Structure 1
């Protein structure tokens, strides 16, 4: 990995890690489902007029968009509006890695390694510990529904990853821009049904500067710029080199939530978070660590 690759990766991690604090700020002035519709409207328009449509069957494109865009962010935005802190959301959402591994095994017959299973078990225990502590802690703002909806967002993201694997290699910016068309109407329809016409009209008429800047960040920085740079990294470097970098996203998310929003974790929450991160590390690096240990034993 060259210094340029490292700088690109750092930019992506920062953009995606700060994403959760930005969402929390935006939700103060915009209902979650309306924010989803506005976000993807800004992503799709005007970019689709300048970027060619990806050579992907419409069925796969629509399915991809309904899972990784509509499903993931409808659940995530709703979870955060119902009490899921930004920092914890950034961590719990990374459970998508395990959903992705499990779904890939079922759909494509991918072989699960022992390190995957051990990592899943460790992270599951960490999530259970973190969720139990956070929800039952006195004075905590974490709600059970917020925690569960974040897990649903992770499962939706993982499903989108599996669809993306079916799609195969394609232009990332093109896929992101054109797939953003699909969730716009469903988001607005869901917003109209669940949030109501009055709430939509009030939010649009009284749009604050922080809310407007949050939408711009989510659409342009986190989505268009973030995914484009990520796609360039994936095309330039082996996947096993790039993928582990996402483990830094919750580190940035937890840190920025603490600095900007004052979301300090208790000691027990930190323990739970460390267990989850430990499971993620075992899932990604477990086989390499095992092979390294075996090599050391074989060549003392």
Structure 2
């Protein structure tokens, strides 16, 4: 970004401390905003469960997301859009259907069975699944840290399952949340391929559009349910499209361009904790103690597998 001398840049010393601070603060603010928005979506699906079924809730969210992303794309590109390649179209459509459509519907369905905090803890197993998928499909090395993280996370999932078997959690909900985590991971792996052919904002826009088209069969049911749906629930669905779906992914990409991938990815481990607090304050629900312990163990495993030791350079994937 070109800045004149009157705006605080000298020819000899470059960027001023204030400008440097601003550049470092903005990516941190983007991470915090993204974590808060993504956490809020877990609470909102529980809030909406009594009025909107999973398909219509997903369609409303993606319609709002696609509209917001279209505006963002036109604004960022100043109306000049680049025609995507055939490979970009195919891959973004695939991960859009898997991640934006199927994952969102299954994610919403989980909210009909278990609390928001437990869903967040199970779904955040996805980064570990991505690590395993990268080994299988992209021939990345299978590290000791990944193996140890898998073992620890499986122990945590075992504890959460025990909480379900004792009646503290619905086993059906846990199974649905695990399916959502698999779909999330599959979408991320295909996204990695898609980003070889297009930029993050275009990929997100195309994927959201593909997901919206895939959910159009729910249009009739959505219209029927909207006749009896309260305004706060409708606004919540629209917010999830504008915030967690559109702005969240945009902010995430911005942070990824300023910090190491591992550091940014590690911030998602804070999402379940934020969800538990939000859910407790707004819905008055909290996971059972055994579920919280299991979730903490699961996320510890994800952290072990995902985080790199300071100073060790990442291998090119």
TM-score exceeds 0.5: yes
Whole-Å separation in 1 of the counterparts to 2:24 and 2:310: 24
Corresponding position of 2:300: 278
Greater helix share, 1 or 2?
1
Whole-Å separation in 1 of the counterparts to 2:175 and 2:294: 16
TM-score between the two structures when normalised by the length of structure 2: 0.81
1:104 pairs with one of 134, 156, 162:
134
Structure 2 gaps of 5+ residues are 1-22, 75-80, 313-317
1:163 pairs with one of 181, 186, 190:
190
State how many pairs are aligned. Answer: 280
Q: Where do residues 52-131 of structure 1 align in structure 2 (5 Å cutoff)?
A: 52=81, 55-56=84-85, 57=87, 58-81=89-112, 83-131=113-161
Corresponding position of 2:4: none
Deviations 1:203-248 (A, max 9, x none): 1212311111111211001111111111101112221221111111
Whole-Å separation in 1 of the counterparts to 2:104 and 2:49: 13
- Indicate if the aligned counterparts of 1:258 and 1:264 stay in contact, CA closer than 8 A: yes
Corresponding position of 1:295: none
Whole-Å separation in 1 of the counterparts to 2:54 and 2:277: 23
Corresponding position of 2:203: 175
- How much has 1:184 moved relative to structure 2? 2.4
- How much has 1:137 moved relative to structure 2? 3.4
- Indicate if the aligned counterparts of 2:153 and 2:298 stay in contact, CA closer than 8 A: yes
The change in CA–CA distance for 1:45 and 1:9 in structure 2 (over 3 A counts) is closer
**Larger-Rg structure:** 2
TM-score between the two structures when normalised by the length of structure 1: 0.85
- Indicate if the aligned counterparts of 1:27 and 1:211 stay in contact, CA closer than 8 A: no
Q: Where do residues 1-300 of structure 1 align in structure 2 (5 Å cutoff)?
A: 2-45=24-67, 47-48=69-70, 51=74, 52=81, 55-56=84-85, 57=87, 58-81=89-112, 83-133=113-163, 135-138=164-167, 140=168, 142-168=169-195, 170-189=198-217, 191=218, 200-285=222-307, 288=309
Root mean square deviation of aligned Cα = 2.3
Deviations 1:4-47 (A, max 9, x none): 32222111111111110012112222111111112112222364
Whole-Å separation in 2 of the counterparts to 1:290 and 1:47: 37
Whole-Å separation in 2 of the counterparts to 1:98 and 1:277: 9
- Indicate if the aligned counterparts of 1:8 and 1:229 stay in contact, CA closer than 8 A: yes
- How much has 1:54 moved relative to structure 2? 6.7
Runs of 4+ in 1 over 4 A off after TM superposition: none
